[in-house]
Structure 1
Amino acid sequence: MLRRGVVPSTVMNSSMSLPGLDPDISALQPLAERMRPRTLDEMAGQQRLLAPGSALRRAIESGHVHSMILWGPPGCGKTTLALLLAQYADAHFEAVSAVLCGLPEVRKVLAAAEQRFLGGHRTLLFVDEVHRFNKVQQDAFLPHIERGTIIFVGATTENPSFELNSALLSRCRVHVMEAVSVADVVPVLQRAVQDETRGLGRHGLLASPEALEQIAAAGDGDVRRALTLLEIAAELAGEEGGHISDATLQQVLADRTRRFDKGGEQFYDQISALHKSVRSSNPDAALYWFARMIDGGCDPVYLARRLTRMAVEDIGLADPRALAMATEAWDTYERLGSPEGDLALAQLVIYLASAAKSNAAYMAWNAARQDVREYGTQDVPLHIRNAPTRLMKELGYGKGYQYDHDAEGGVALDQTGFPDAMGERVYYQPVARGMELKLKEKLDALRAARLRARQGKD
């Protein structure tokens, strides 16, 4: 059994910190691994989840650890928290990665955990990237969680609602972990600079608070990444007398990228933020999210397609120029490519966000489709059918049709265009904004006149 305060030493993943290693071997480990927290107090960030007195912290400190899913971005401390959970629960720690392991390997680990359980010892099974296991593989854990053979801790960067099956979710509590703020990363870097045992203290490294803050910001919420950048800076600084200078930082932090997952949760969150900023007529916020996605490596053609959709769905006939501008910006990007073509799309973002908004055409289209589904295949009224042959004319095709150009005002008001079973319908209801204001005035007048004409016939 494990003692409180000692990180578990039975770890399958050899990249994890192992206390008591030979100093020469420990020195070979990356700085981020050597500085992995050994107590809850050393955890960076996650105050909402692990603040003193919080429900989860009280449960952990009392040793009552439940099966859970840790959902959060890379480098926020999911693996570290799993190690600490095993420590406080006095449980044997096993780790598997869904990237590297298949069902046969998982079954071996579960069999060993069951033998351990029969001997009176608990096992905490940490499954990294658990969302990469398919449904059958996820189901393999269920009976062992139910019997208490294992304390299951799954780590994922993806939304568990979409990536994990309901049976597994029903047996685990989902805890959301957040990207670590710059303010929380800086103390970790300071500790790494000063720590003579696990960190860089024995090298006499000099790093100003400003330099550490820049490194923390470059970590972009990922503590592991920030520590890796610090380690690279320290190696370069060794050639400059042990001081992390501005020149060193320029080398280390050049061409860094922000967190962005082209196929994951962040991708869809950011495109949602862009769309909703456009809809809210906030060009500044819209431009920010557009820049974030371009910076993260999103395909500009994908963004051009989504922006064109916004021009149709959210602006519509309030400003018909928006659709034309969207297709022109898309075409411009196709001709110029990046980075020159990015500006055309950026201009489009600003225009769409600034333009008058209307979803009237979008709503009208959905209403018309709903009636098509509800009423099925209705016959076209005889008076508006085409009659190219004598037989069709004899059958009444086109009979009673009024040629609108010959009618007063250019509209035959008492003539319907709908199937008889449906009666007259109103789908398109323009808003009183932009160019639709004029359309609204015209259509309101026409609809009122048609109603009067129909009532007069009745």
Structure 2
Amino acid sequence: MNSETTPLPERVRPRTLDDVIGQQKLIGPKGALRRAVDAGRLPSMILWGPPGVGKTTLALLLAEAVKRPFVSLSAINAGVKDVREILGKSFGFFPPVVFIDEIHRFNKSQQDALLGAVEKGQITLIGATTENPSFEVNSALLSRCQVYVLEPLSRDELILLVNRALNQDEYLRSRPVRVESYDALLRLSGGDGRKLLNLLELVVTNHVNADELVISDDLVTSVAQQNIARYDKSGEQHYDIISAFIKSMRGSDPNAALYWMARMLQAGEDPVFIARRMLILASEDIGNANPTALIMAQNAMQAVRVIGYPESRIILSQVVVYLATSPKSNASYLAIDEALALAEKTSHLPVPLHLRNAPTKLMKEIGYGQAYQYAHNYEGNFTEQNLMPDELRGHKLYEPGHNAREAEILRNLQKWWGDWYGY
């Protein structure tokens, strides 16, 4: 390969499954994929994992290991026509492995075009996705595929990736390079092996005339800040922009929220990904201060899936402004986290007798369900009965936020539960 035109991740791409760094639970001696290869049977599958952990490489090596033709498509620029062209080709006796990168970006009709071929065994499908396939892949297609979860590369594995590149790549090996610290390389690449190797090559090529290049944290940070678009494929600090987007909505600034969303859309971010983050925020940061926000966000995600981009930008804009300008409360979010922590510590506590189910005569005789106060028989549907384990009587988990809707909840609590909860 030409080192001047071929990126480092491609030059040092593993040539066999034994060369792959990481994912040993899948491709190690007892791994599910290793057993499949040894048996010569490769199932259709979805590889789900974060960026830069080797999904594309793994798909290629699996196809080579079972000696099958390999065809690669990207869901970003492929359509139904491209899928049908592949299905119409002859690949000889063995059906091809069709790899679809970012399969979560295929819409329903594109996924349906694959369904029959997968079902009949005309192709072995390997889809790669960074998104939960249960949300993004049609249930019919998903039911015909095994889902394998790829784990993020560990620190030791990322360091091994750097050292292997320095030792094996002809271009890097010809230069005197010593790594003083790996911290900045690992931090700035965010666990993405591809970005890590691109950044490593960028640092080296920016100092080709050095007698000995010492890779330090300061040097890596300086090079990355000057050339971020060269080692980050999208030219956008992906997770930083998402963080800014969410924090702008949380901070009730519709202008900033629209700006950061526009940055994501310009960089080619999946609109469904944006809508999903808005759906989470509607519950986490708005909650019962404005329950309609959750409905708006849910409808937005459904609409984005139906109409696609670019028209979906209008819906996204409408809902982003709505969420940003809504009153905010994280009371429910804090309450469930506290409840989970409390449940872990108190799982031994019994359910009070009056709250227990009594399906048998014996249970009724020993007091199950007796003295239970049916809320609908009381004014305002409130009773003064303790509904927690006795040891947690009066324990508060939900603290209403400072907004009009939850202020009403607070007034009701003060009216009905003031003595126990101390409001």
TM-score (norm: length of structure 1): 0.55
Give the SS at the match of 1:96. strand
Note the C-alpha offset of 1:32: 0.8
Q: Who is 2:277 aligned against?
A: none
Note the C-alpha offset of 1:216: 2.8
Counterpart AA for 1:149 = Q
Give the SS at the match of 1:179. coil
Match of 2:15 among 15, 38, 42: 38
Q: Who is 1:128 aligned against?
A: 101
Structure 1, gaps ≥5 residues long? 1-22, 262-266, 268-291, 314-344, 359-420, 447-458
Quote the Cα distance in structure 2 between the aligned partners of 1:357 and 1:173: 36
Higher mean displacement: 29-38 or 213-222: 213-222
1:249 is aligned to 2:226:
no
Match of 1:170 among 140, 143, 147: 143
Q: Who is 2:364 aligned against?
A: none
Task: Name the CA shift for 1:88/1:167 in 2 (closer, same or farther; >3 Å).
Answer: same
Quote the Cα distance in structure 1 between the aligned partners of 2:288 and 2:240: 19
Q: Who is 1:155 aligned against?
A: 128
Q: Who is 1:62 aligned against?
A: 39
Match of 2:191 among 215, 221, 232: 221
Give CA deviations for 1:222-259 in whole Å, capped at 9, x if unaligned. Answer: 100000000000012213334034353231244879x9
Task: Name the CA shift for 1:207/1:236 in 2 (closer, same or farther; >3 Å).
Answer: same
Quote the Cα distance in structure 2 between the aligned partners of 1:145 and 1:357: 45
Runs of 4+ in structure 1 off by over 6 angstroms are: 292-295, 434-442
1:188 is aligned to 2:173:
no
Task: Name the CA shift for 1:185/1:425 in 2 (closer, same or farther; >3 Å).
Answer: same
Counterpart AA for 1:84 = L
Counterpart AA for 2:80 = L
Quote the Cα distance in structure 1 between the aligned partners of 2:80 and 2:29: 38
Do the aligned partners of 1:193 and 1:205 also contact (CA within 8 Å) in 2?
Answer: no
Note the C-alpha offset of 1:353: 6.2
Larger Rg: 1
Note the C-alpha offset of 1:34: 0.7
Give the SS at the match of 1:90. coil
Structure 2, gaps ≥5 residues long? 253-280, 291-327, 340-375, 387-393, 401-409
Q: Who is 2:172 aligned against?
A: 200
Q: Who is 2:201 aligned against?
A: 231
Give the SS at the match of 1:91. coil
Quote the Cα distance in structure 2 between the aligned partners of 1:75 and 1:36: 12
Quote the Cα distance in structure 2 between the aligned partners of 1:148 and 1:200: 44
Task: Name the CA shift for 1:222/1:303 in 2 (closer, same or farther; >3 Å).
Answer: same
Note the C-alpha offset of 1:144: 1.2
Quote the Cα distance in structure 1 between the aligned partners of 2:395 and 2:144: 52
Note the C-alpha offset of 1:205: 3.1
Do the aligned partners of 1:67 and 1:173 also contact (CA within 8 Å) in 2?
Answer: yes
Give the SS at the match of 2:60. helix
Counterpart AA for 2:201 = E
Give CA deviations for 1:57-114 in whole Å, capped at 9, x if unaligned. Answer: 12123321111011111111110000001111100110111111111111111111xx
Quote the Cα distance in structure 2 between the aligned partners of 1:238 and 1:445: 73
Match of 1:426 among 381, 384, 387: 381
Q: Who is 1:140 aligned against?
A: 113
Note the C-alpha offset of 1:422: 7.0
Counterpart AA for 1:92 = P
Note the C-alpha offset of 1:442: 6.2
Do the aligned partners of 1:294 and 1:300 also contact (CA within 8 Å) in 2?
Answer: no
Note the C-alpha offset of 1:310: 5.9
Q: Who is 2:309 aligned against?
A: none
Task: Name the CA shift for 1:424/1:79 in 2 (closer, same or farther; >3 Å).
Answer: same
Give the SS at the match of 1:70. strand
Do the aligned partners of 1:94 and 1:126 also contact (CA within 8 Å) in 2?
Answer: yes
Quote the Cα distance in structure 2 between the aligned partners of 1:426 and 1:187: 63
Give the SS at the match of 1:155. strand
Task: Name the CA shift for 1:229/1:445 in 2 (closer, same or farther; >3 Å).
Answer: closer
Q: Who is 1:396 aligned against?
A: none
Do the aligned partners of 2:382 and 2:416 also contact (CA within 8 Å) in 1?
Answer: no
Q: Who is 2:27 aligned against?
A: 50
Do the aligned partners of 2:203 and 2:220 also contact (CA within 8 Å) in 1?
Answer: yes
Q: What CA RMSD, in Å, does the superposition of the two structures yield over aligned residues?
A: 4.0
Match of 1:106 among 59, 83, 96: 83
1:29 is aligned to 2:6:
yes
TM-score (norm: length of structure 2): 0.59
Quote the Cα distance in structure 2 between the aligned partners of 1:144 and 1:438: 61
Match of 1:300 among 247, 254, 271: 247
Q: Who is 2:269 aligned against?
A: none
Do the aligned partners of 1:128 and 1:154 also contact (CA within 8 Å) in 2?
Answer: yes
Note the C-alpha offset of 1:438: 11
Quote the Cα distance in structure 2 between the aligned partners of 1:136 and 1:216: 39
Give the SS at the match of 2:198. helix
